[in-house]
């Protein structure tokens, strides 16, 4: 959009702004990270860790994608190619254009967690929406108690951000524990369910804030493990996903009980999300 | 150096056992260390031993034709390794390989079975503890069968 057009056309949450791909990294067999910058003078509100954007692959469709890194005039999205729209997004190359709407949704409670221990639990590609939270925790390490990052994946080759994991592990002020479902015999890490890491993690249950992203079934078991250790439900937070289309609470596609996931979420405290997850859908 | 009784008293696997029962169990145990790569068990072999891991990590593996050894679980400090000693026909179900230097207390299964037969109260206490471990691992295995990382929210 030209500066003149931008001055006339006011920003609108339903209007995609043009951004372009400036860097692309293959994370796993089917998952790519795309770094985007806005075209011309396009401005954007800052993205808080946990919020998401609607990414529009022209001619293919739009999908809600969490932010795996954000700074002023720079976004990174980590996308798994699982359908026509995400296939099209993952097929974009450096220089290609996308439409971006956002930021949308609720953020991780990083301010409320200050002074407390923090446990971050991710499953599979769930590390992507948690990455900005971890980066924030590490950049402001003195504001938090003990920090643990627990990460589970299908296999070593499907773990995201291995360089980040290495860097975080090299620090002495964060515990990083990784486990996979199965591994070849050259793997030197843990094999087993991510829930198995919870009893070993060092945190004070009464003064801990937990942030979880993974498939809902995994989040349920992780939340149960944290509750078993004594973490209060309102201090456990999960990021949920439903079919988000408008992202502004109008279309109703993402309605879950009384909540619109796009607006009231995607980050919910467990005392809200837990009962919603118990509802059996048909 | 700590005695086997002392080591067992500090192990969560034997938490709550009476001193008398700990002593009986300790009588069947010896300290045993393994170098990295050493096999603690081999699939199909007679299972005469179970271990309490004191230090290090052990990989449970199975051999998959054309894929080689596949690691299906790792066990770590304070965990129990091996239950085939309890269940006929007493054959190990998986390979168990030391991932680094591993220190264990190794128990003679036949010795312990004899003591459990002679003292059913001991047998029941031991069975309760092994049943809890089995139930936990069965639940974890069932969850893993769901392929929980296949589809992830929030991405």
Q: How far A135 CA sits from the closest chain B CA (Å)?
A: 17
Section A231-243 average pLDDT: 92
Look at residue A102 and tell me whether its pLDDT is greater than 60. yes
Predicted pLDDT at A62: 93
Chain B residue numbers with beta carbons less than 8 Å from the beta carbon of A183 are: 70-71
Section A136-158 average pLDDT: 95
Chain A to chain B, count of Cβ pairs less than 8 Å apart? Answer: 108
Cβ-defined contact of A215 to B152 (cutoff 8 Å): yes
Look at residue A3 and tell me whether its pLDDT is greater than 70. no
Query: Where does chain B show beta strands of DSSP type E?
Result: 29-34, 39-41, 49-55, 58-64, 68-75, 80-81, 95-98, 102-108
Predicted pLDDT at B9: 78
Predicted pLDDT at A13: 83
Looking only at the bridges linking them, the beta strands covering A208-213 and A236-239 are parallel
pLDDT 10s digits, A174-218:
999 999 988 888 888 899 989 999 998 999 999 999 999 998 888
Instruction: Give the whole-angstrom CA distance, residue B137 versus residue B80.
Output: 11
Predicted pLDDT at A2: 59
Predicted pLDDT at A39: 84
Mind listing the pLDDT tens digit of every residue in chain B (155 residues)?
A: 678 888 887 888 888 889 899 999 999 999 999 999 999 999 999 999 999 999 999 999 988 888 888 888 999 999 999 988 888 899 998 999 999 999 999 999 999 999 999 999 999 999 999 998 888 888 888 887 877 776 544 44
Domains in chain A (CATH in brackets) are 6-104 (2.40.30.10), 117-278 (3.40.50.80)
Backbone angles phi, psi at A242, to 5 degrees: -135, 180
Give Cβ neighbours of residue B116 (< 8 Å, ≥ 6 apart): B122, B123, B126, B127
Instruction: Give the whole-angstrom CA distance, residue B134 versus residue B140.
Output: 10
Cβ-defined contact of B71 to A239 (cutoff 8 Å): no
Predicted pLDDT at A227: 96
- Overall size of chain A counted in residues: 282
Select from A239, A240, A174, A229 the least CA-distant residue to A206. A229
ipTM: 0.78
Task: Tell whether pTM > 0.80.
Answer: yes
Look at residue A4 and tell me whether its pLDDT is greater than 80. no
Predicted pLDDT at A253: 87
Cβ-defined contact of B155 to A66 (cutoff 8 Å): yes
Q: How far A130 CA sits from the closest chain B CA (Å)?
A: 9
Instruction: Give the whole-angstrom CA distance, residue A267 versus residue A258.
Output: 15
Predicted pLDDT at A45: 81
Per-residue confidence band for A8, with pLDDT thresholds at 50, 70 and 90: low
Minimal Cα distance from A268: which residue of B?
A: B154
Cβ-defined contact of A193 to B74 (cutoff 8 Å): no
Share of chain A above pLDDT 70, in %: 94
Cβ-defined contact of A185 to B148 (cutoff 8 Å): no
Strand partners, A277: none
If you average pLDDT over each of A3-17, A109-123, A235-249, which comes out highest? A109-123
Name the 3-class secondary structure at A69.
strand
With DSSP H G I counted as helix, E B as strand and the rest as coil, what are the percentages for chain A, rounded to 5? 30, 35, 35
Domains in chain B (CATH in brackets) are 4-145 (2.60.120.10)
Instruction: Indicate the residue of A66, A128, A185 with minimum beta-carbon distance to B68.
Output: A185
Give the CA angle between residues B86, B95, B29 to the nearest 5°: 45
Look at residue A141 and tell me whether its pLDDT is greater than 90. yes
Instruction: Give the whole-angstrom CA distance, residue B100 versus residue B89.
Output: 30
Strand partners, A8: none
């Amino acid at each position: 959009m030209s500066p003149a057009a931008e001055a006339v056309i006011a920003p609108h949450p339903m209007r995609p702004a043009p951004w372009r791909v400036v860097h692309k990294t293959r994370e796993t067999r089917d998952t790519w990270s795309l770094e985007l910058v806005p075209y011309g003078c396009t401005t954007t509100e800052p993205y808080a860790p946990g919020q998401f954007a609607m990414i529009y692959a022209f001619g293919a469709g739009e999908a809600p994608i969490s932010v795996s890194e954000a700074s002023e005039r720079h976004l990174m999205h980590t996308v798994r190619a699982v359908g026509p729209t995400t296939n099209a997004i993952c097929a974009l190359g450096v220089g290609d254009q996308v439409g971006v709407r956002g930021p949308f949704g609720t953020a991780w409670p990083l301010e409320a967690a200050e002074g407390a221990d923090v446990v971050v639990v991710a499953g599979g590609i769930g590390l992507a929406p948690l990455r900005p939270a971890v980066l924030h925790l590490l950049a402001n390490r003195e504001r938090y108690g003990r920090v643990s990052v627990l990460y589970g994946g299908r296999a070593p080759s499907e773990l995201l951000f291995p360089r980040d994991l290495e860097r975080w592990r090299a620090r002495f002020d964060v515990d990083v524990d990784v486990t996979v479902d199965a591994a070849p015999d050259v793997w030197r890490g843990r094999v087993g369910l991510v829930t198995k890491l919870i009893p070993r993690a060092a945190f004070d249950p009464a003064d801990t804030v937990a942030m979880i992203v993974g498939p809902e079934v995994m989040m349920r078991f992780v939340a149960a493990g944290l509750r078993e250790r004594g973490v209060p439900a309102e201090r456990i937070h999960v990021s949920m996903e439903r079919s988000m289309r408008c992202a502004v609470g109008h279309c109703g596609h993402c309605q879950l009980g009384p909540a619109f996931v796009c607006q009231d979420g995607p980050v919910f405290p467990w005392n809200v999300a837990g009962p919603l997850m118990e509802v059996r859908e048909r | 150096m700590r005695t086997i009784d002392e080591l067992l008293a500090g192990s969560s696997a034997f938490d709550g056992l009476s001193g008398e029962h700990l002593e009986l169990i300790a009588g069947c145990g010896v300290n045993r260390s393994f170098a990295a790569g050493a096999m603690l068990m081999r699939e199909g072999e007679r299972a005469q031993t179970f271990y309490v891991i004191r230090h290090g990590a052990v990989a449970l593996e199975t051999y998959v034709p054309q894929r080689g050894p596949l690691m299906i679980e790792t066990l770590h400090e304070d965990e129990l390794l091996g239950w085939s000693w309890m269940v006929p026909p007493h054959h190990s179900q998986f390979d168990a390989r030391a991932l680094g230097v591993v220190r264990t207390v190794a128990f003679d299964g036949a010795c312990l079975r004899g003591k459990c037969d002679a003292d059913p109260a001991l047998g029941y206490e031991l069975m309760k503890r092994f049943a809890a471990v089995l139930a936990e691992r069965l639940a974890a295995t069932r969850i893993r069968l769901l392929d929980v990382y296949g589809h992830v929210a929030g991405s």
